[in-house]
Amino acid sequence: MSESPLMQLPEGFRALIVGASGAIGEAFQQALQQDPRCAEVLGLHRQSSIPIDFAQEASIAAAADALKSAGPFHLIINAAGLLHQAQQMPEKQLSQLSYAQMLNNFSVNTLGPALLMRHFTPLLDKQQALMALLSAKVGSIEDNRLGGWYSYRASKAALNMLVKTAAIELRRTQPHTVLVALHPGTVSSALSAPFRGAEIGRPASQAAAEMLTVLGRLTPADSGHFLSYTGEVLPW
């Protein structure tokens, strides 16, 4: 990327990607490394030198603490998320629901990102900052036409509520911070692979570039929105 899409951020802005080991997280990190206006981009994941594991609550506060002196950050993106595991494919019907699967989905897609907002919003630059949490259009209650994918849908809908609620608080306490839930569209990755993601998804590099373009257009008035990679405001 020769030109920076994030022109509203200051020259030499600092970025942090959580879930940087995933397809989209890695693509965000690479795009920002090529952004001439980005001074540094740090990537965190479960195996990074400062580890962050959404199944381990204490790891989130510990990571924020370890990064205090590396901030303030102007851009934080959460690209971690969970749709399926070996023995847990998305539920197609009520008879497949279990506490175990719902707890796994909620811990990675909802609880971890919520604590990320708690512990990492204080690391944002008070003059100007963006924080985006990757959600999913299937988390839209209004847009739910097909049913199924109970845990994933519910965990992303709950994430959307937490983002909206936090954005209302930040409007008072950090009025120059923009906080959004962001839908990446279908992207070829390990997460989408069992659902023909490689065939119907876009490359992660393209998705990251499109989402950075959307982020680059945001102002504080957009905080609390649920946005698509196209820039469209999605229904809750």
Ligand X SMILES: NC(=O)c1ccc[n+]([C@@H]2O[C@H](COP(=O)([O-])OP(=O)(O)OC[C@H]3O[C@@H](n4cnc5c(N)ncnc54)[C@H](OP(=O)(O)O)[C@@H]3O)[C@@H](O)[C@H]2O)c1
Q: Which residues bind ligand X (CB under 6 A)?
A: 19, 21-25, 45-46, 52-55, 79-82, 108, 112, 134, 136, 184, 186-187, 189-192, 197, 201
Task: Give least dist CB 168 to ligand X, A.
Answer: 22
User: How many Å apart are CA 152 and CA 111, to the nearest integer?
Assistant: 13
Of 38 and 191, which has the nearer Cβ to ligand X? 191
3-state secondary structure of 97: coil
Task: Give least dist CB 148 to ligand X, A.
Answer: 15
Of 140 and 174, which has the nearer Cβ to ligand X? 140
Of 174 and 189, which has the nearer Cβ to ligand X? 189
Of 71 and 139, which has the nearer Cβ to ligand X? 139
Strand blocks (E) in the chain? 13-18, 38-44, 75-78, 129-134, 177-183, 226-228
Instruction: Judge contact between 156 and 138, C-beta under 8 A.
Output: yes
Token pair listed for 132? 């985006």
Task: Give least dist CB 125 to ligand X, A.
Answer: 24
Tell the burial category of 96 from Cβ atoms under 10 Å away from its Cβ (0-12, 13-18, 19+).
Answer: middle
Task: Give least dist CB 83 to ligand X, A.
Answer: 6
